[in-house]
Every structure is written in C-alpha cells, then in structure tokens.
Structure 1
C-alpha cells in the first residue's frame, strides 16, 4: 500500500515537472504575430489630403524622398489641387481636393501588410493631363502592368481603375510609375485616390459551373465615386480584379454597383462600355459531347445609355446574339441557350456589338449590362 502511494506521488511529481517545463517553453517561445485583418479601404494617406510641409514644396514640386506623408517618391512628383492651373490647364480631381502628378519616369510607392497567397485589388482614380498618349504603370513586384490612359471613359475626369495581384509575402510594395517621356514636362498621369481590397475568389458549383457568376466579388468602390470601376484590358483570371473572369479586350470593362446604377441581380454587375473592344471571358470545365444550358441577363444601367444594343456570347465555336432595345430606364431581360461541349475546356466570351455614349453626356462611354451568368449541365441533349 505504501509502495502504491509512493508510486502515485512520484507520478504526480513527474507530471508537475513536465507541465512546468512545457509552460516555460511556451512562455519562452516568441509569440507569432496574428495575420493582418482583411484589408479594404484607402491606403495610408491614400487620398493625398495630408499635404507635404510647405518647406518641402517648391511651387507644386515635392522636394525630398519622404516629403509626401506615408509615401516614398522618386523623380519629379507634383502636389496638385484640383481646378484651373497656371498656363491655362485644368486638372480634374474627382475624389477629393488634392492629387499627385507623376512627371517623366517619376514614381510613388508605399509598403503595406498583406497575407501571402491572398488575392488583392487596388482601386485608384487616375487620368491623363494632356492629349498625349499617357501610361500609368502599376507594380507590386514581381507583378507589373501598364494602364493606357488615352481613352477617357468619363468626361468629368473621374475614371477609376482596379488592378489585381497575388501577395507573395507578408508585405507588398505598391508602386505607381510614369514610364513615358513626354515632350511637354507639364504632362503626366494624375493620381487622386488609392484603395485596396482583399478578394475571396468564389468556386463553381454543380448547379452553376461559372465562378463569380453575378460579379458580386469585385474591387473596392471609392466612397465619393459614382462612375463605377474600370477593369483594365488584358487581365488574366489568376490576378484579375474581378475574380474568375479574364479581361481579354483592348479596352476596359466597367464594374458597377447597385448604389449608383441599375443592377439586375444582387449588388454588382459589369457594363460593356467599349463595344467589341470591351470583352470578358471565363474558361469552364466541361465534358466533351455533353450538353449544357447557358443563361445570362442583359440590360441597361439606368445611366442614360440608350439605343439598339447587342450582346454577343461565344461558347467555343458557337455564337449567340442577344438584341436589347434600351431606353435608359433600367430594364433587363434574361435569355437561355443550349450548347454541346467540344472539349474538356469551354471558353465563354461576352462583348457588346456596338458603341454607345450617354444621351446626356456624349463624352462618357457606356454599354449594355451583363449579369447572372449561368452554365449548367443537362441530363440529356
């Protein structure tokens, strides 16, 4: 009996010692930093309303690498107030009072915390300041993309773009760069707001093989912007700011929201604003010789876009044309087609057959709205 009690005491003592050792080890181990929360909103001083000190400004030119609060600058960067400028120019600043203008080979950058492997979209207001062919290069190394700013989609200078990237580490350096060399040094891209949003790419289902079919997952919308968000051309689906979709055209596609536009379903849709030069696509897994039904909705955004519209849909070699007569009142219609797959991958592509401008503003491009794309297998052909 005494031996059993002794053994029990020894066991308790050993357990206590092991517990003390493990507690000490836990206490000694460095605490892991929690991952950053889901990002959405302006970057630090993302609207450039915190100005450089007056001692760091030479007229409009910012002097000093770190003189623009929260940003690092290289080359000739100007701090601009919207409105008339010396020399007779006018700079529209649609998303606040202040903006920055990037001179030849100039850039601004900011380092932000991100989650490795996550998809993000930058949203930013950008416009050209001259009639010359200006380009804005957006980079999050090792990714980089050039946005042509020659086409003005909104006559008020309030064009907003989105650009997507996959994070490769826990920090990302966001860079905006003017790669051009303009004849006029007073020219160069204008940047007036920068925001970010973490995206969560949706998956296809058995009932609908399309990813992000209603375009509900998309980039951040700037709070004081009512023009929608332009999705730049030539965006691959892995880094697209519209998850699941490829922007394969020469011109942008517009991401629109229910707050400012008529949207047939849910909270978002896309507007095909540049005719045949504005196209989106998605590659879908299919079974060869199996039949599928493709359904989608077309309409107008209730934004003054009017006239005879036509949305063309392609599924491999099949073409489906959907005419729509718009009176700019926010109406829509849903169509359905049957399709037999030819291969294990089927590419769906949508674009507008015609070019349109708003009836109240001929300087603003517009077009038919596309929403709620469905692609589902049929039991029999």
Structure 2
C-alpha cells in the first residue's frame, strides 16, 4: 500500500514538473535554441544534412524535408552563409519547424526571424501561431547579404500556442527552400498617448526584437499579411514592407528606433487618430537617411485629411535629418496620418533603401487655418 502511494506521488510530481516546464512564459530574445546551434546527433542526419526524426533538433519539432546546414555548406556553385552563429535549417517543400510557446493569454507578441532564399525564385513562408497565420513572400532585394529579418505579430488566444514556420513551396527539387535562423520573440505593449502628442508610438520605440549582429534591420509586412502590426499603433498599408531600424546599426533622428520607407508608393505607414471636424491640427515629424549608403535626392510625403506635403531631402548616405510640419483641417471624427516615399531608391549594391521617418507628433490648434504647409 505504501509502495503504491509512493508511486502515485512520483507520478504526480512528474506531471507537475512537466506542467511547470510547459507553463514557463517566453522572455524577450531568442527562443530556446532559436539560433539552431544545438544540433541533431550525427546518427540523426542522412547524407550529413537531412534531419531524420521529428525531434532530432533540440527544442524543435520538424516535419517534411528539413536540412541542418552548417555555414559554408556548398550547394552546387552556391555557398550558404549563416548570419547567427554557425548553423541554420533549410525547409524543403511542405516542410516546417514548430515550437510550443507558453504565453500570456490576451497579450501581443512579435516574432522576429532571419531567412534567406536559396535556389528557388518565388519562395514564400507561412508563419502561424494557432489560430492565426500569415504568408510572407521571400525577397532578397532588401539586404545585400542575401539574408533578411522579418517580423510577424500575433495576439495570444491561449496560454500555450504553437509557432510554426512552414514552406508551402512546390519546387521540382524538394531540397530547394529557404534557410531559417535566429528565431526570437518580443512582448508588445500597447502604447498610450504621451502628453502633447495625439499619435501613439510616434517615436517608434515600441516594436519587434532586433536579432544580435543583424545589421540589416527588420522588415515589417503590410497588414494584408499580418492582422496585428509588429509596430503598435501603426499599420503598413499597400503591398510592400517597411524596414524597422535601430540606432546600433543605423542613424536614427531621435531615440533608438525609426522606420525606413523602402517600398516607394507601394508602402504606406498609417495611423488613425480621433479628430474634431473643423478643428485644425499640426503634424510634425523628422525625415532623414539612415547612414546606410543610400545617396541622392529623396522625397517623403505626409497626408492628413485633404492636406499633404512633400518633403525633399538630399541624402549623402551618412546620416542626418530635417524637421517638417503639415497643418490640416479635420473633415471627420477620425483622420488617417500617412507617411510614404515618393520614389524608389536603391543603393549601389542593388538593394532597396529610402527616407527615414521618426519623431512624429500631432497636436490640435483648435482654430481654422487654410491647410497651410510649412517646411522648417
């Protein structure tokens, strides 16, 4: 009888330990083995790279044709480079990686990960945290290294969710597929209104996690691909991404973070605010360059109600900014504030770049002005 009681207690203790482990809330930064430096045993690799067994990679569950790639691995004439550490995974056709995350129900999170296209041209990735999902088209025109970092946000509907990154590709070569590395998470805190500013998160200080040593920024997809913006209070409209940048790797007008408009007129940074019809308001903001070698004349545009302004900026590619102001009269009880780049810009290495927007503020003047436009 005593032996049976001890056995029951042991079973209960084991179950409690497993439950406690599952209940650990994720912290900001790389997920457990998020850089894939803990690899499978050699006995679990076929031909040196193909992962055999769904749980061969510690902390991850895989399905389909998944390869464990070491930096410098050769595929034909292509040399595969890994940005974070020495290892990454490659997802073949219909392959995926999965990790269970213990989160806070109702909280918002942003996933950041790096990806590189390999032999296929039209690669895409499905990113999901049940029951939400999004499709991210793979682009290499944003970063000269071949790697880009992407952000994708979600609202936790459960206390424990499954993050899945899946390659839906249908290439002739099942091994053709994107490389994945540096998977991280950051809790997003809904910004509140600061005194003297009707815009939330006007300095863009709240946003996704920046991966260590990733000097190319983080691409934030348009809202048609992400129901919850990784930039709280802001929406990315149209079809192209914007680039979220930090002061550790770029020139930022104010604070430590800003947004680079790399999508021309195909991408717009938007926030909707409450206004009073007939009242006038003043939108102030900074326009500059991120010191990433993007050289030449730039034009950034701002819109609100029926007013607009085009702000010219001559970039030397070494950093700098100017302030601009747009006065407008509200025509409804909600007004969209919009920023976008008039033109596409490209660096000498062929990668896209553009003007930086930062330190945006909106104040009410409460008197009628004739939509006056002023540049400082």
TM-score (norm 2): 0.88
Deviation of 1:329 after TM superposition, in Å, equals 2.3
* TM-align CA RMSD: 2.0
State the distance in 2 between where 1:152 and 1:100 align: 21
Deviation of 1:90 after TM superposition, in Å, equals 2.4
TM-superposition CA deviations, 1:198-220 (whole Å, max 9, x none): 01121224621111000000111
Structure 1 outlier segments of 4+, above 3 Å: 32-38, 235-238
Is residue 363 of structure 1 aligned with residue 319 of structure 2? no
Deviation of 1:123 after TM superposition, in Å, equals 0.7
State the distance in 2 between where 1:236 and 1:134 align: 15
The 5-angstrom pairing of residues 1-381 of structure 1 reads: 39-59=27-47, 60-205=49-194, 207-234=196-223, 239-359=228-348, 362-381=349-368
State the distance in 2 between where 1:358 and 1:252 align: 17
Deviation of 1:183 after TM superposition, in Å, equals 2.2
In the alignment, structure 1 segments of 5+ residues that lack a partner are 1-29
Deviates more, 1:284-293 or 1:200-209: 200-209
Contact 1:311 1:352 in 2 (8 A): yes
TM-superposition CA deviations, 1:60-89 (whole Å, max 9, x none): 110011111110111111111122414222
Deviation of 1:33 after TM superposition, in Å, equals 7.9
Contact 1:237 1:245 in 2 (8 A): no
TM-superposition CA deviations, 1:157-215 (whole Å, max 9, x none): 23111110011121121000011211232311110110001011212246211110000
State the distance in 2 between where 1:185 and 1:192 align: 20
TM-superposition CA deviations, 1:97-146 (whole Å, max 9, x none): 11111111111100011111111001100121124200011000111000
State the distance in 2 between where 1:247 and 1:183 align: 34
State the distance in 2 between where 1:245 and 1:333 align: 22
In the alignment, structure 2 segments of 5+ residues that lack a partner are 1-15, 369-376
Report the CA distance shift for 1:37/1:139 in structure 2 as closer, same or farther (over 3 A).
closer
State the distance in 2 between where 1:87 and 1:326 align: 40
Residue 265 of structure 2: SS of its match in structure 1?
helix
Report the CA distance shift for 1:133/1:195 in structure 2 as closer, same or farther (over 3 A).
same
TM-score (norm 1): 0.87
Deviation of 1:36 after TM superposition, in Å, equals 5.3
